[in-house]
Structure 1
Amino acid sequence: MHHSGAGPAGRLAPATPENRRPSAGWALFGSELSVLFRRLRTWAMLLALAAVPVLIAVVVRVAADEGGPGGGPPFLNQIKQNGLFVALTGLVVSIPLFLPLTISVVAGDTIAGEAGHGTLRYLLTAPAGRLRLLAVKYGAAVVFCIAAALAIVVAGAVIGTILFGTGPVTLLSGDTIGVGESLVRLLLVAAYVALSLAGLAAIGLFISTLTEVPVGAMATTAVLAVVTQIIGALPQLDWLHPWLFTHHWLGFADLLRQPISWDAFGANALLQGGYIAVFCALAYSRFSTKDVLS
């Protein structure tokens, strides 16, 4: 049967030796990214994330004009002195719910979405094999993690500059750095957040192999992210907190000191790497033995 078009089935290629080469995997990855970022849903989620810092900046601007009270999430009061803090505040506000929700949608749809649309078995007739298909699906989810974090940072920096202007930034350590280095720090924070979400994406990938109902996989992943954060807030379970994938999600403060301390980044990378290894292995174990009928 011949398939064409931009959909998943259109990614099939003849089972020739050339398609077994690594370049075939990169071609499949590029095609997967193309499909992901041509979806209206993907751009709607990125725009929704970008709207978070924009809303924060507008509210702070109006409140400042009216002499409203302070308070609120971290970095909120610094926004009036420097617009670059809009991006940081947007990340802090988005990490508990909005970012995990969008990642859950993308990760939960990886395998279950193909099964639900009846295209999974056609994808598996390609010579890439199940391991390569899983790697491509997870790689695309990680790219979305990066795009999601950047959407907030870029939108926050732009709207903050427009409404409040920019200048030298005073770090948490009390040191002052210029605008250029401040933007580099923002990108490092975005990388930290994307890394934090990569563990959740691996969990979503595994859950996606357990069902053919993408909405179920999305909802389960999102609920798991929320429940884990609730558990992380219970002092009675202090012994468990260091093992939760959400434990270091808000630990990027060390990137806002002079000199930069990489301890939190390293601890987060180690924790997320463990979750990625375990749940990607579980996903492959499940997917490699799964009877694909759709």
Structure 2
Amino acid sequence: MTTIIDTRVQTTARARHVGTAAVVRWEVRKLAHQWRAKAVLLGALLGPIPVVFIIHGQSRPPKDTLFGRFATENGFALALLILGFAAQWVLPLLTAIVAGDIFASEDQHGTWKTVLTRSTSRGRIFWAKTLASVLFAIVTLAVLAASTITSSVLIAGNAPLTGLSGQQVAPGDALALVSASWASMLPGMLAFTCLAILLSVWSRNPAAGIAAPVVIGMVMQLVGALGGVEPIRPFLLSTGFEAWHGLLTDPRYTRPLLEGAVTSAGWCLVTLALAYLTLRRRDITGG
């Protein structure tokens, strides 16, 4: 009798595991067929190419920006220049286009009741949609970084990079540092993904879920640039987007990267908890 009960428990556990994985696969498949997700990935792949051509073709380099002085003659500097610009609003926008819509679209199309009657729970759906959004953010950042670095090096060359301390960085090391600088955007990008998820669940409006994270990111940039805000600056997501500067100095300092990752993790935990509770408590009767 005990053996039969144990077998049933194990079978139920396996069924639940398969059911959760199936929901995740379904959400990923839905994203793969959405024109919006395809457009973002295509833009991340092809968008940097004309930007690189335009900056490289300028008669005067943008000397008033970080690494702008060398952007027209060094591909690594050009990739870092674009990174500084992308961190301001491009990265929050790219991830919010999907994460800000992934829950609100169910409200917009009135499909919540249909989704919840397919032998699954709100919790599974929430985490499946969250994982799909996170995976999309990771892929988007990887595609954007690879396209930017590759096109920059091919068009502007791979001469040694002049770091922020005036040191010369060999091309091989420069490629590794530029790649690491782009990779350091991931914690902040995931935090904006979770923020977009919260706004998507709370507002039930795709426009709000997409636009609000971008506006919040721009406000953080402006607040961080003001004087007298040192006590709150470490808690702004925009501060973590600037932490890669420490990789390009001699000696390098990585503490801002760690602090930015911790701040982003905190934003992720808080926003996802609020989003989860909001969805769990929602009375879904109309769709």
Pair in the same fold by TM > 0.5 = yes
SS of corresponding position for 1:172: coil
Distance 1:231 1:189 in 2: 23
Which of 281, 284, 287 in structure 2 is aligned with 1:292? 284
3-state SS in 1 of match to 2:240: coil
Corresponding letter in the other structure for 1:226: M
Question: Gaps spanning 5+ residues in structure 1: where?
Answer: 1-15
Aligned to 2:83: 91
Q: What is aligned with 2:153? A: 161
**What is aligned with 1:10?**
none
- The offset of 1:27, in angstroms, is 3.2
Aligned pair partner of 2:225 in 228, 233, 239: 233
Q: Kindly tell me: are residues 34 and 114 of structure 1, through their superposed partners in 2, closer, same or farther at Cα, counting changes over 3 Å?
A: same
Quick one: structure 1 residues 102 and 211, their matched pair in 2 at CA, closer, same or farther if it must change by over 3 Å?
same
> % of aligned pairs identical?
25
Moved more, 95-104 or 22-31: 22-31
Instruction: Classify the secondary structure of the residue corresponding to 2:110.
Output: coil
Which of the numbers 23, 34, 49 marks the counterpart of 1:54? 49
Q: After superposing the two structures, state which structure 1 stretch, 144-153 or 261-270, moved more.
A: 144-153
Residue deviations 1:179-213 (CA, integer Å, cap 9, x gap) = 44433333322221121111111111111111332
Q: Conserved in 2, the CA contact under 8 Å of 1:199 and 1:273?
A: yes
Structure 2 gaps of 5+ residues are: 1-10
1:92 Cα deviation from its structure 2 partner? 1.0
Check the 8 A contact 2:76/2:149 in 1, yes or no: yes
Q: Does 1:33 align with 2:28?
A: yes
Query: Retained in 1: the 8 A contact 2:164–2:248?
Result: yes
Q: Is the 8 A contact 2:92 2:214 kept in 1?
A: yes
**C-alpha contact 1:100 1:200 (8 A) present in aligned 2:** yes
Name 2:93's counterpart in structure 1: 101
1:79 aligned residue = 71
RMSD of aligned C-alpha atoms?
2.6
* Aligned residue runs from structure 1 range 115-130, under 5 A: 115-130=107-122
Aligned length, in residue pairs: 276
Matched, 1:267 2:259: yes
Task: Report the CA distance between 1:176 and its aligned residue.
Answer: 4.5
Find the counterpart in structure 1 of residue 40 from structure 2.
Answer: 45
| 1:281–1:49 CA distance, 2 compared to 1 (3 A) | same
CA drift at 1:218:
1.8
- What is the rounded CA distance, in whole Å, between the counterparts of 1:227 and 1:140 in structure 2? 27
Offset at residue 257 of structure 1 (A): 4.0
Whether the 8 Å contact between 2:72 and 2:156 is mirrored in structure 1 is yes
| AA matched with 1:121 | K
1:184 corresponding residue in structure 2: 176
Tell me the secondary structure at the aligned position of residue 37 of structure 2. helix
Match of 2:124 among 132, 136, 140: 132
1:83 offset after TM fit, Å?
A: 1.3
Q: 1:72 to 1:122 in 2, by over 3 A?
A: farther
Alpha-carbon distance between aligned partners in 2 of 1:137 and 1:81, rounded to the nearest angstrom: 43
Q: Are 1:218 and 2:210 counterparts? A: yes
Inter-CA distance 135–214: structure 2 relative to 1 (3 Å threshold): same
Matched, 1:149 2:144: no
Query: Is residue 53–residue 152 contact of structure 1 (8 Å, CA) maintained in 2?
Result: yes
181-190 vs 85-94, greater mean Cα deviation: 181-190
**Structure-2-length-normalised TM-score:** 0.84
The answer to whether residue 195 in structure 2 is matched with residue 199 in structure 1 is no
User: For residues 137-167 of structure 1, what are the alpha-carbon distances to aligned partners after superposition, in whole Å with 9 as ceiling and x for unaligned?
Assistant: 2222222222332233212222223222214
* TM-score (norm: length of structure 1): 0.82
